[in-house]
Amino acid sequence: MSDSNENDSLSSITRGASLYFIGKIVVDVLGFVFQLILTRGLGAGTYGIYAYSKNIIGIFLVFTNLGTDKSLLKYIPQYHDELERQQFVLTLATITSLCAATIAAVSLFIFSPTISRLTLNNQLFVDVLRFFALILIFDTISRILYSVFRGAEKLEYEVLTNKLVRPVFRVSAAVLALGLGFSLIGVMVGLLFAHLLTLIISIYLFYTRFKLSLPHSYSILKEGSVRSYYNFSIPITVKDAGDILMNRVDILMVGFFLSSTAVGIYNIAVLLAGILALPLAAFNQLFPPVASRLLSNEKRSELKYLYEVITRWVFIISLIMAISLVTYRFELLSLFGEEFTGGSLVLTLFVLGQLVHSLGGANGYLLMMTDHQYLLAANQWAFGILNFVLNYIFIVEYGFIGAAVATASVFALLNITKTIELWYLEGLFPYSLSFLKPIIAGIFSIIPMHIMGMLLNGIYLVFVGTLIGVLTYIIIIISLGVEEEEKSLIKSLV
């Protein structure tokens, strides 16, 4: 393996991470503003109805997607010089998802009163679910296009549409609706148009910027290996269905056993902890297609190198973010309203779970790209069922704090398991003594952050304290010695 090949792959991934960071900063800021507008404008109870509906739609998206996003990430780069086979995969993915989306949207529209009766039992909840049923179709098509952009390593188009255009439209819709005196239904009308406009822009970019397109005749379906496609996508769908038990069952059960107010408080804490997933998500934007390309070219040593380097980078960035979130958890939650500070322990628990997730790096994608999709599906279901059982036991006993204990601990254990499996099956292990440097730096960065807490408060404390903590963190890491790969990262980002 040559240094040139390593640098080319690393450059592609860091370029994707750079673009993603730019877009994610914007989407997180606008997402924060969006949640702030809703919580302040609607209150915890009505906001909880929106949050609960959003999580139900997330479940339906798994079944409308049917593994097409991961399949496109695998096959678009794998067939990078075979346009006809790329068209086959895209056609099959589009037909599969559109049929599933239509069935799901109609089912959701019809059965929304039943869902409401079994959970929040609120007519407003029924109306909101029906709006989301329409948005579901738009989002399903959009996700196919986002995956094509990523699979072709043209992340700028995914960032533009999904990370910039869509959140801007969503915030504008919320501001306009609430500013005109409408409540949640008005917001949903605005969101419907926001998602439709985003889809139109995505379709325009797809047809004007890519040679790849849907064929005019569907006879091409006869030429490809349908069995091969579904042999990959169906296990991924099963795995994604298991993700529901891992990532959404806690919120669903909080709504079932508790109240919409509890859902609202819990959801804000989970969303804030989700910021910690940003570094891993950034590097994972182009890591899957690059990994697929390297595996198809039998460059496993280069893949091992990339896995080690990227996992360390992700942990370095995630650790200081985790320290800031936990240190200033009360100040951050109070921005949404004083009642939301009741989710401080939930936030802390999920931050710890996300930190373990960052330590695993791209373990899930690597299991997927090395044809262990069935193992991945088994993992999600085994730990998902465990999560469901623990959530039931702990919510009944401890309320939404119990939900956080159950989900965060199972989430961490799942990521540890995937890392061990990848090490055993493929010999890929990302850790070394270099991980001690950010841990030492993180411990010492806590001191000035707590000192700032004695001098400032509120949002000023969050900004100033985090800035000082980050500077301390960077200075200590540099003084301990920067790895050559970190120097390459800085150069690539610049």
Predicted pLDDT of residue 1: 43
Residues 404 and 265 sit within 8 Å (Cβ to Cβ): no
CA 384 to chain centre: 17
- Write out the two tokens for 277: 């997933």
Predicted pLDDT of residue 431: 84
- Write out the two tokens for 25: 């900063």
CA–CA separation, 443 vs 274, rounded Å?
Answer: 22
CA distances to 58, 192, 283, 405 from 164, in Å? 20, 17, 18, 34
Share of the chain above pLDDT 90, in %: 27
Number of other CB atoms surrounding residue 81 within 10 Å: 6
Residue 491: pLDDT band with limits 50, 70, 90 = low
| Residue, of 334 and 494, whose pLDDT is higher | 334
- Write out the two tokens for 99: 């049929």
Q: What angle do CA 272, 310, 481 make, to 5 degrees?
A: 100
- Write out the two tokens for 250: 């806690």
Per-residue HEC secondary structure of 194-261 comes to HHHHHHHHHHHHHHHHCCCCCCCCHHHHHCCCHHHHHHHHHHHHHHHHHHHHHHCHHHHHHHHHCCHH
**Half-sphere exposure at residue 87, Cβ-oriented, CA atoms within 13 angstroms:** 17
Share of the chain above pLDDT 70, in %: 88
Kind plus residue range of the DSSP H or E element containing 147: helix 123-151
CA–CA separation, 151 vs 70, rounded Å?
Answer: 9
Q: Where are the domains of the chain?
A: 3-431, 432-494
Predicted pLDDT of residue 217: 47
CA–CA separation, 242 vs 62, rounded Å?
Answer: 10
Q: Is the pTM of this model over 0.75?
A: no
> Which of the listed ranges 3-12, 90-99, 164-173 does the model predict with the highest average pLDDT?
164-173
CA–CA separation, 86 vs 90, rounded Å?
Answer: 6
Tokens 């592609």 locate to 12
CA–CA separation, 233 vs 66, rounded Å?
Answer: 7
Residues 325 and 347 sit within 8 Å (Cβ to Cβ): yes
101: phi then psi, degrees, rounded to nearest 5: -65, -40
Mean pLDDT of the chain: 83
Predicted pLDDT of residue 486: 62
Residue 5: pLDDT band with limits 50, 70, 90 = low
Q: Residue 283: name the closest of 478, 11, 470 by CA.
A: 11
Kind plus residue range of the DSSP H or E element containing 145: helix 123-151
- Write out the two tokens for 143: 């996700």
Q: Residue 177: name the closest of 338, 50, 295, 66 by CA.
A: 50
CA–CA separation, 233 vs 227, rounded Å?
Answer: 10
Residues 254 and 403 sit within 8 Å (Cβ to Cβ): yes
483: phi then psi, degrees, rounded to nearest 5: -65, 155
Q: Residue 154: name the closest of 145, 141, 143 by CA.
A: 145
- Write out the two tokens for 437: 């440097």
Q: Is the pLDDT of residue 54 over 80?
A: yes
CA distances to 276, 277, 415, 446 from 315, in Å? 10, 10, 14, 17
pLDDT tens, residue by residue, 187-230: 999 999 999 999 999 999 888 877 665 554 445 455 456 777 77
Residue 320 is classified by DSSP as H
Predicted pLDDT of residue 442: 92
Q: Is the pLDDT of residue 405 over 60?
A: yes
Minimum mean pLDDT range among 67-71, 249-253, 336-340, 428-432: 67-71
CA distances to 5, 188, 202, 218, 254 from 105, in Å? 46, 16, 21, 25, 24
pLDDT tens, residue by residue, 302-329: 778 888 888 888 899 899 999 999 999 9
First to last CA, the chain: 26
Q: Is the pLDDT of residue 61 over 70?
A: yes
Q: Where are the alpha helices (DSSP H) in 275-372?
A: 278-283, 287-296, 300-327, 329-334, 344-359, 363-369
Minimum mean pLDDT range among 20-29, 314-323, 345-354, 440-449: 20-29
Residues 97 and 140 sit within 8 Å (Cβ to Cβ): yes
